[in-house]
Amino acid sequence: MSTGEGVRESWSTRIGFILAAVGSAVGLGNIWRFPFQVGQEGGAAFLVMYLAFVVLIGFPAMLVEFVVGRRTGLNTVGAIKEFGTARWRYLGGLFVFIGFVILSYYSVVGGWVLRYILGSGRGSYMDASAGEYFVSIASGTDALVFHAIFMAIVVAIVGLGVQRGIELSVKIMVPAIIAIFAILAGYAFTLDGAAEAYSYYLQPNLDVLINNWASIVPAAAGQAFFTLSLGMGVMITYASYLSEDENLAIDGTSIVVFNTGISILAGLIVFPILFTAGVDPETSGAGAIFISVAQALTDIPLGQVIGVLFFATVAIAAVSSAISLIEVVVSYAIDEFGMDRVPATLAIGFLIFLLGAPVTVDTVMVDLYDILAAQILLVIGALLLISLVVIFHTEEALDEIQKGVTDLGWWGYLWLWIVGVPVVIVLGVSLMLGLDTYVKFLQGPFADFLSSL
Ligand code: TRP
């Protein structure tokens, strides 16, 4: 990882970069957040919107981050300083802030995953109802303790600066997730509720889209950014280690394809199980994946073993994403304040732990942090970064995107135009709608929660 000084490291192999970016992208966003968003936003209508946004907005925006990173060869904050005028340093500050907020609740959910490794090993959710078990561990002391453990793991890895650790973890994790997901999806396919679930998940209903577009649009945009690790400069840092003969568009395509495939698979597991159990996907909320997988494992031969393997794999996926989040903050502290890596990581990890502690009070707190981060902060971050590139650096961006490719011809211009016009418009609209969603959340479920205290 970058310290911004000395000889810069670079990825040992081309596949190393792709794997690290996949390691950042594939995480709780695919396995936990995606099914829960689909459930809240009405099923297939959300899926279609989300897929469209991944291709039309996420992918072009990812190339923007790649271009900035490889062009400057710097960490996020340094790159923005080099590309912008003095005032743009606040954008670097915003990215660091977003990293704090996201990791603080991400770690609480990561803690749930760790708790489920133990729970599976002991078979704890096998005698209780899967729903009750989730509620019993999702908030309170258990949640706080496992949040602390998750942060401790992340801090230990990043403190050591183990770059190879990321590459290695991804090489094991991605195939493991796919293999175990395939087994679980195969099981889910045999359930009674499968047909109903597939039609809910895979057959878009235009009416649902039309009636709910104002909440689907910002949710889908937020999910696209969240899952691709965009909007706060992670991909800037990773691309800064790339060499110039790499074709950015091809690398970006592989990352997007892998990442999307894993999300879709997660839905193929969750929905048949929820429908079979008679649980309304809309009400299962943040617990969707935990409750449905636990329920499946109760029925399946070797459920305990598969459970341990499954949640351990998810934990690796979560840790490899968390690393990319904290690294943005740590590299900033090292560059800006001349801190050493170990004390910087420890201090930041502790602050993030504190910021996440309130999330363990009640699951409504997850929404409080999550909607803010995904539907508002990441969108603002992406909008500002795109403006910086499109307003001040079009020539350089075009030049950079063409490296490693013979000649992109008009594709390069098309890309810049897409990023500069439709993407900006859609993000602007999303942001407005996202703010509205957030206000409604604060006045509704969150106000109810506060008055129940
Ligand atoms: N993409 C990761 C996931 O899906 C989470 C993540 C890592 C992230 N780095 C990010 C989200 C940067 C937003 C921005 O689990």
pLDDT per position as a tens digit, 195-216 = 999 999 999 999 999 999 999 9
Domain extent for 59? 14-452
Q: How far apart are CA 1 and CA 221, in angstroms?
A: 29
Distance 278 CA to ligand 1 centre (A): 31
Q: Is the pLDDT of residue 278 over 90?
A: no
Distance 154 CA to ligand 1 centre (A): 14
What was the pLDDT predicted at 5? 41
Residue 225: what pLDDT?
97
Out of 13-22, 39-48, 378-387, pick the least confident: 13-22
Q: Quick one: which atom of ligand 1 is closest to the CA of 324?
A: 9
Residue 9 lies in a domain: no
Instruction: Tell whether 148 is covered by a domain.
Output: yes
At residue 266, does pLDDT exceed 60? yes
Residue 202 pLDDT: 96
**What radius of gyration, in Å, describes the C-alpha atoms of the chain?**
21
- pLDDT tens sequence across 136-177: 999 999 999 999 999 999 999 888 876 666 666 677 777 888
- pLDDT at site 357: 98
DSSP state of 400: H
* Ligand 1 mutation target, pool 236, 321, 326, 352, most atoms within 8 A of CB: 321
C-alpha to C-alpha distance for 209 and 223, rounded to whole angstroms = 16
The pLDDT value recorded for residue 162 is: 62
Of 230, 334, 347, 385, whose CA–CA distance to 6 is shortest?
334
Mutate to test the pocket of ligand 1, among 325, 331, 371, 377 (most ligand atoms within 8 A of CB): 325
CA of 374 to the centre of ligand 1 (A): 10
Structure confidence at residue 2 (pLDDT): 40
Tokens of 105: 């609740």
Alpha carbon distance 220, 215 (integer Å): 9
Task: Give 355-410 pLDDT, tens digit per residue.
Answer: 999 999 999 999 999 999 999 999 999 999 999 998 888 888 888 888 877 777 78
Overall number of domains in the chain: 1
> CATH number of the domain that 238 lies in?
1.10.4160.10
- Confidence class for position 241, pLDDT limits 50, 70, 90: confident
Sign of CA dihedral 54, 59, 65, 69: positive
| Cβ count near 269 (within 10 Å) | 27
The ligand 1 atom nearest the CA atom of 234: 12
According to the model, what pLDDT value does residue 6 have? 44
What local confidence, expressed as pLDDT, does residue 1 receive? 40
Q: How would DSSP label each residue in 213-238?
A: HHHHHHHHHHHHHHHTT-SSSHHHHH
Q: Is residue 229 part of a domain?
A: yes
- Mean pLDDT of the residues in the chain: 90
The reported pLDDT for the residue numbered 3 is 41
For the ranges 5-19, 118-132, 203-217, 281-295, the lowest mean pLDDT is seen at: 5-19
User: For residue 25, which atom of ligand 1 is closest to its CA?
Assistant: 1
What does the block give as tokens for 449? Answer: 């929660």
More confident residue, 291 or 15: 291
The average pLDDT across 40-51 equals 95
pLDDT higher for 74 or 117? 117
Is 3 a member of any domain? no
Question: What distance in angstroms lies between residue 103's CA and the mean position of ligand 1's atoms?
Answer: 9
pLDDT exceeding 70 applies to what percent of the chain? 94
Residue of the nearest CA to atom 10 in ligand 1? Answer: 229
For residue 228, how far is its CA from the centre of ligand 1 (angstroms)?
6
Closest CA to 446 of 355, 371, 375: 371
Atom of ligand 1 nearest to the CA of 322: 7
Distance CA 420, CA 403 (A): 21
Relative orientation angle of helices 364-371 and 422-441, to the nearest 10 degrees:
150
Atom of ligand 1 nearest to the CA of 321: 7
Concatenated DSSP letters for 65-108? HHHHHHHH-S-HHHHHHHHS-GGGHHHHHHHHHHHHHHHHHHHH
Kindly give the distance from the C-alpha atom of residue 29 to the centroid of ligand 1, in angstroms, as a whole number: 7
How far does residue 332's CA lie from ligand 1's centre (Å)? 18
Residue 64 is predicted with a pLDDT of 96
Instruction: For residue 102, report the distance from its CA to the centre of ligand 1, in Å.
Output: 8
Give me the helices (H) in 123-232, please.
Answer: 124-127, 130-138, 141-160, 163-189, 194-202, 206-227
| AA identity, residue 17 | F
H helices, E strands: number in the chain = 25, 0
Give the residues surrounding ligand 1 with Cβ less than 6 Å away. 24-25, 27-30, 102, 226-227, 229, 231-232, 234, 321, 324-325, 378
CA of 276 from ligand 1 middle (Å) equals 31
> In this structure, is residue 321 part of a structural domain?
yes
Across residues 18-37, what is the average pLDDT? 92
**Is residue 307 situated within a structural domain?**
yes
The stretches of 240-287 forming alpha helices (DSSP H) are 248-277, 281-284
What mean pLDDT comes out for the span 224-252?
90
Tokens 């996949």 belong to which residue?
Answer: 22
Residue 5: inside a domain: no
Is residue 4 left, alpha or beta, with left meaning phi > 0 and alpha meaning psi from -120 to 50? left
Nearest to 10 by CA among 247, 334, 242: 242
Atom of ligand 1 nearest to the CA of 259: 4
Q: How far apart are CA 337 and CA 233, in angstroms?
A: 19
Q: Is residue 7 part of a domain?
A: no
Please report, in angstroms and rounded to a whole number, the separation of the first and last CA atoms in the chain.
44
Q: How many CB atoms lie within 10 A of CB 186?
A: 11
How far is residue 36's CA from residue 43's CA, in Å, rounded to a whole number?
Answer: 10
* Amino acid type, 332: Y
pLDDT at 270 exceeding the cut of 70? yes
